[in-house]
Amino acid sequence: MFDWQDLRYFVVLARVGTLSGAASALSVEHATVGRRVASLEAALGLKLVYRMPRSVRLTEDGKAIAALAERMTEGAQAVEAHALRASSALSGTVRISVPPTLGSHCIAPHMRAFREANPTVKVVMAGAAGIAPLERGVADIAIRMVEPKEGSLVTRRIGAIRFGLYASHDYAARPARQWEFIANDSTLDHVSHQRWLRAYLDGRPIVFETGDVIGQQGAARNGVGVALLPTMIGDGDAALVRLDPKSAPLETPLWLVTYPDLRRTPAVKSVMAFLVNCIGREPHFSDAGKRPVALVES
């Protein structure tokens, strides 16, 4: 008998199409995804994917297994949704997927207050930038930096991330034409601030890439180059100075996303309110002064 977790990893890989994308969606290392899929292939005695340099391609057996597994996933989701609807107690585990900057700088610092107010609710938080898939078993609630387009979800804008260009004090003394840059890796080319930075380069080079914003901050502090950082991080770091303050990407909206059948369950409702409060009380993320946007179905 195969491991059900192996099947779940394969379903995400089949949907996303790359090991790095599946790893980001599942908040694991890409080697873990590869190992899980290899384990499933061994258990089934079937070749499911062809591994290519930058992507994977499903075999015919892989396509058939992926289609069957999707139906199994839908059944498992229906069971979980029924259990959550049937429970009126303010208790249980709620899984959230949030951009890493929000998780470490905005949500985690307030977790103690949430726990004291909701001692029977456990929050499991995974950090994921951009378009992380919202799947039961992976996340019940997500905060995304890209407006969701999937059907059968409810969404609400709850704030925005604002960005600026930062460098060490020594590096900031260089003429702008000599700047070199620190950027996200290509897995985040779809996010708006990454697209803005690539247009801003104007022929100047990117010398270091990492999807880890703390790694970008550390490289900027070390004089590697200019980094486009969330203002919460850049403004709060005395070792950095903001450059060209009149040039910055448009703010990146933050979208709260969940399933229609979960949003009124007590545990999920309490966590959603907590997330909205965390964003609303932080000036770098808050939409203060803007009219609140209600949850709407996609």
Residue 265, Cα to own-chain centre: how many angstroms?
A: 23
Mean pLDDT of 85-102: 77
**Predicted confidence band at 133 (pLDDT cuts at 50, 70, 90)?**
low
**Location of structure tokens 């899929």:** 37
pLDDT at 51: 87
3-state secondary structure the chain: CCCHHHHHHHHHHHHHCCHHHHHHHHCCCHHHHHHHHHHHHHHHCCCCEEECCCCEEECHHHHHHHHHHHHHHHHHHHHHHHHHHHCCCCCEEEEEEECHHHHHHHHHHHHHHHHHHCCCEEEEEEECCCCCCCCCCCCCEEEECCCCCCCCCEEEEEEEECEEEEEEHHHHCCCHHHCCEEECCHHHCCCHHHHHHHHHCCCCCEEEECCCHHHHHHHHHCCCCEEEEEHHHHHCCCCEEEECCCCCCCCEEEEEEECCCCCCCHHHHHHHHHHHHHHHCCCCCCCCCCCCCCCEEC
* CATH for 87-161+252-297, options being 3.30.70.1890, 1.10.1740.10, 1.10.3720.10, 3.40.190.10: 3.40.190.10
- What CATH fold (topology level) applies to the domain 4-84? Arc Repressor Mutant, subunit A (1.10.10)
pLDDT at residue 63, as a whole number: 92
| Amino acid 180: pLDDT | 97
d(CA 26, CA 230) in angstroms, rounded, equals 24
Instruction: Tell the CATH superfamily of the 163-243 domain.
Output: Periplasmic binding protein-like II (3.40.190.10)
Is residue 295's pLDDT more than 50?
no
- pLDDT given at position 183: 94
* Per-residue pLDDT, 297: 44
Q: Lowest-pLDDT range, 15-29, 78-92, 164-178?
A: 78-92
Lowest mean pLDDT of 52-56, 123-127, 149-153, name the range: 149-153
User: What pLDDT is attached to residue 179?
Assistant: 97
**Is the pLDDT reported for residue 292 higher than 50?**
no
Given a cut of 80, is residue 128 above it in pLDDT? no
Mean pLDDT score across all residues of the chain: 85
Q: Which residue has the higher pLDDT, 218 or 128?
A: 218
Q: Is the model's pLDDT at 130 over the cut of 60?
A: no
Please report, for the chain, the start and end positions of each structural domain, with discontinuous segments joined by +.
4-84, 87-161+252-297, 163-243
Q: Look up the pTM and report it.
A: 0.62
Does the fold of domain 163-243 match that of domain 87-161+252-297? yes
Does 88 or 207 have the greater pLDDT score? 207
pLDDT higher than 90, residue 208? yes
